[in-house]
Structure 1
Amino acid sequence: MTPGLPPPGPTGIGTSAATLAETSRPARAVAALYCPTAVRTHPALAQQVQHRLHQWADSLGLPPQAIAGHGQLAVLTHPDTDDPARLTTAAQLLAVGKLIEAAAPPPPNPPGPAPVLVQALDIALQEIYDACDTPHTARHPTPAPSPVTSDQPALRSALAALSALPASPYQLDRVRRAYQALAAATPTGSGPHPPWEHLSHAHINAYSPALTALDAIEGYELSPAAAAHPDLQRTQHLAALAAALLQDLAHPAPTGLTAAIARADRLGTPAATRRAAAIHDDTMHAFHHHATELAATADPATGRYLAALWTWLGGHHTFHTAP
């Protein structure tokens, strides 16, 4: 079995939700989720990467919050490299993804009908499991206008840094297309845009570009056939969805999943948190299942990529549980 993919743990929806019966505090909720933890910490390296990020953000006029903590996040999620340049590029790609997601207009106040959010997440999971496509594919076949496009300075700069690692033209194209898909999935215009639209389309895709770049960041390359394989795409999309759901639990917001479930089902915050945790765990179990099956027959590069997805999720988990 590929290193980094341990045997599957307990199965079933909501494995960790039972441990949340007495708390709704985000840190406790996230710590109890079915998810690995980081395999390395390196505060000095994280500080070095963060310093580089500040220089990059200043040169582009980006707000400090666009890169807050991203140096630490890059170090936690990429344990296979100690190269500050590679880690800085990884952090830049994460920052651009969040900038695109944040470009969506705010939802109306009060938010729109929450039940549609739960339905949209069900559809997203169904499409990932069965159709091997991201949820936006059928709805947005052509990238829509977005405040962050391939001509936007932050994305152009991040792609240039990726090219300098070096990354192949095919790797760059994969990452560029992931950003175009994210921009296409991000609601634009004057609205109103209910919160389910933002979460079910843009938010669950916000991590896809960074995960698409894993092989380039860590110095190897998936073959075009492997990268385009429906089973690998499904596995990657599940990892991206799990990361987005974990972030929602770590940073509850009125437009997030927990709040939407609370409104839809008239639940208190603790019960809604348990249900959101169950959705996350179901997604992680599905990811683990698909990744383990693929790893059994994978070529070396694909096996390394699957292991990197697992360790990336562990670093992301640790980042959101750190004090």
Structure 2
Amino acid sequence: MDPYARLSTPPPPVEENPRRAHRVEAALEKWALEVGIADYLGEINLSGFGRMMCLANPHAASDNHLLVLAKCFVAEYITDDTCEDNEHGVVPAQLYPQLMMGTFTIESTAPIAACAKEWDAQTRTSILCQAWQGAIASVHEIATPAQAGRLKHALATLFIGFGGESGWRLAQRVPPSWEYLMERQLNSFFCSMILPDVAAGYELSSQLYYLPEVQRALRAAALSSNLMNDVYSLWRDLEQESTAYSLPLLLAAEQDIPLEAAVERTIDLHNELIGFFQEESVRLAAAHGPTMGRYLADILNWLAVNRYWHVTSDRYRMPA
């Protein structure tokens, strides 16, 4: 039973496809071994990233299209993990150089032969760089240059958000809720969410994608999904004394209210953001045509599936 049924994310409209999910996850495991991120195999298998991509992209053009998106999802997970001071990560003071190297890896680089050997050596020592190098190469195989550029731009924004969170840790500072929500506009599920057209083999043009009102709607959608994640991750944060920041925990301390009340306020904000996205989707589809409507419908399905994945994945399953 879902303890957070009041979250207004709609249910996913698709059924499970275990055979396809198994194929994608087997290929994802093989890729992880090839690119040198075997340390994460346990978490990859536990979380079911391939299954998530299959559910979120029911009209994918091929298993390979799903695999490419799953690679990106894993690379984002590794980046997030790297940004916390734990067994896989780095201390906050060393994080910005790691993020700089990650950004260097995903962008085309100037051909400077004198630096090539050192650059290659450094990227090979970074599990973050190895993951993104493989993931971005795969994206270029199936996406248009504009779609790949869309992802790279979103990743640069994500890395800024990671850096901001690292700054809180360096200062040993608990941010106020307004600042946390600002940071979560940058550090969110946005990068994972924005490529349904790549998976399905169509394209929302850059002229439409970068409209300010479209970006505002997508940011609201991504933030809503992160608040949903805060709610379902809360037991893990409490049990493991996690260094992750969470809106319910911040609200409970800041407003001196019980944690249960803080969870309810987080759910209220989630529902407000989902409502805004759904209303904007109707308006934007009417104004900009069927491709816009299809893209935003695919985003809503992604949100629904991400919620379903949190409920059913072993990674987020609450203890009995």
Report the TM-score, using the length of structure 1 for normalisation: 0.73
2:204 is aligned to 222
Q: How does 1:122-141 map to 2 (within 5 A)?
A: none
Using the alignment, how far apart are the partners of 2:172 and 2:71 within structure 1? 28
Match of 1:72 among 48, 51, 56: 51
Asked if structure 2 preserves the Cα contact closer than 8 Å seen for 1:144 and 1:183, the reply is no
Report the TM-score, using the length of structure 2 for normalisation: 0.74
Per-residue deviation at 1:147?
Answer: 5.8
1:118 is aligned to none
Asked if structure 1 preserves the Cα contact closer than 8 Å seen for 2:231 and 2:263, the reply is yes
Q: Which runs of 5+ in 2 are unaligned?
A: 87-96, 106-128, 239-244
Q: How does 1:114-193 map to 2 (within 5 A)?
A: 145-146=99-100, 148-151=102-105, 152-165=129-142, 167-187=143-163, 188=166, 191-192=170-171
Asked if structure 2 preserves the Cα contact closer than 8 Å seen for 1:182 and 1:202, the reply is no
Bigger Rg, structure 1 or 2: 2
**Identity over aligned residues, as a percent?**
25
One-letter amino acid of the counterpart of residue 223, structure 2:
L
Which of structures 1 and 2 has the larger relative contact order (alpha carbons within 8 angstroms, sep 6+)? 1
One-letter amino acid of the counterpart of residue 182, structure 1:
L
Distance 1:202-1:156 versus aligned 2 partners, 3 A rule: farther
* Pairwise CA RMSD: 2.6
Q: Deviations over 1:26-50 (max 9, x none)?
A: x411x33101122222122112211
Match of 2:26 among 45, 51, 67: 51
1:38 is aligned to 12
Distance 1:154-1:320 versus aligned 2 partners, 3 A rule: same
Match of 2:285 among 295, 298, 301: 295
1:60 is aligned to 35
Per-residue deviation at 1:203?
Answer: 7.5
Per-residue deviation at 1:321?
Answer: 1.6
Per-residue deviation at 1:64?
Answer: 2.6
**What SS does the aligned partner of 1:267 have?**
coil
Asked if structure 2 preserves the Cα contact closer than 8 Å seen for 1:66 and 1:95, the reply is no
Using the alignment, how far apart are the partners of 2:201 and 2:61 within structure 1? 12
Asked if structure 2 preserves the Cα contact closer than 8 Å seen for 1:100 and 1:182, the reply is no
Distance 1:259-1:144 versus aligned 2 partners, 3 A rule: same
Using the alignment, how far apart are the partners of 1:264 and 1:149 within structure 2? 35
Match of 1:208 among 190, 194, 198: 190
Asked if structure 2 preserves the Cα contact closer than 8 Å seen for 1:258 and 1:269, the reply is yes
Per-residue deviation at 1:220?
Answer: 0.8
Using the alignment, how far apart are the partners of 2:194 and 2:185 within structure 1? 16
Per-residue deviation at 1:173?
Answer: 0.9
Using the alignment, how far apart are the partners of 1:144 and 1:233 within structure 2? 28
Per-residue deviation at 1:75?
Answer: 1.2
Q: Which runs of 5+ in 1 are unaligned?
A: 1-24, 108-142
Question: Which has the larger share of helix?
Answer: 2
Asked if structure 2 preserves the Cα contact closer than 8 Å seen for 1:175 and 1:209, the reply is yes
Match of 2:77 among 98, 113, 117: 98
